[in-house]
A and B are shown apart, each in its own frame.
Chain A
């Protein structure tokens, strides 16, 4: 299998994630779309590491997973804080706050 197939699959996932970030209103779904983006990058790293015969890409994937865990923890904490303060996680509501 040429690595281009894997890159194409990663591109599909990335596009799904971007669509989710731009179109969805639910904060939690937006964060899950961010996870999709990170995973598409992971897929590119692993496929490239296979194509080049180097393991560095896989080490980089481990770091990306670490950062994704941190991002999820802090982001979900912020979602909870926002929900406590305003009683909703609809991004349209936050836009209305800005006036």
Chain B
């Protein structure tokens, strides 16, 4: 069983620590959100290096793809503290994009490499995704159905909360 190399882990850990601090310390919410994207991509890399491929892909799709876009949308709608009109964070933007791309490619490499040359999986029966799917739809079926109901409730709640009412 191939284990994750310590060098990879320590690199990822240092970057995750840095971007977590930046999420909290960044001056504008947009920068915080972008560092949170980087954080989530790096976490997906950690998951992939732990052979949790399905969770890694879901992390990128749902967390970095959907939830963070929601955050950025709200930041855009609220146009909170006006940033200086001069673009002075170009270098930071490039660095962020490069790091996110590298993290994403590493995760993709880990996930694809396993399907090209399947490693012996410790849990009986098939790949990681297969094991997760079996567990999710057999043992945790009720929790799965309740989760779908929870999402429906959250959708209705957010529509009701943001609906414009007649002025009180």
Contact = CB atoms under 8 A, between A and B. Distances in A.
Interface string A70-90: 111110111111011000010
Contact of A53 (B6, B71, B74, B122): B122
A79 B80 CA distance: 12
Contact of B13 (A9, A46, A58, A66): A9
B70 A58 contact: no
A28 B154 contact: no
Interface of B: 3-4, 6, 9, 13, 16-17, 20-21, 23-24, 29, 32-33, 36, 39-40, 43, 46-47, 50-52, 54-55, 58-59, 62-63, 66-67, 70-71, 74-75, 77-78, 80, 122-123, 128, 131-132, 135-136, 140, 143, 147, 150-151, 153-155, 157-159, 161-162, 164
Given A16-B21, A65-B59, 16 more contacts: A13-B16, A23-B24, A26-B29, A28-B29, A28-B80, A29-B23, A39-B40, A46-B50, A50-B51, A58-B128, A63-B140, A68-B67, A69-B62, A74-B157, A79-B78, A89-B80
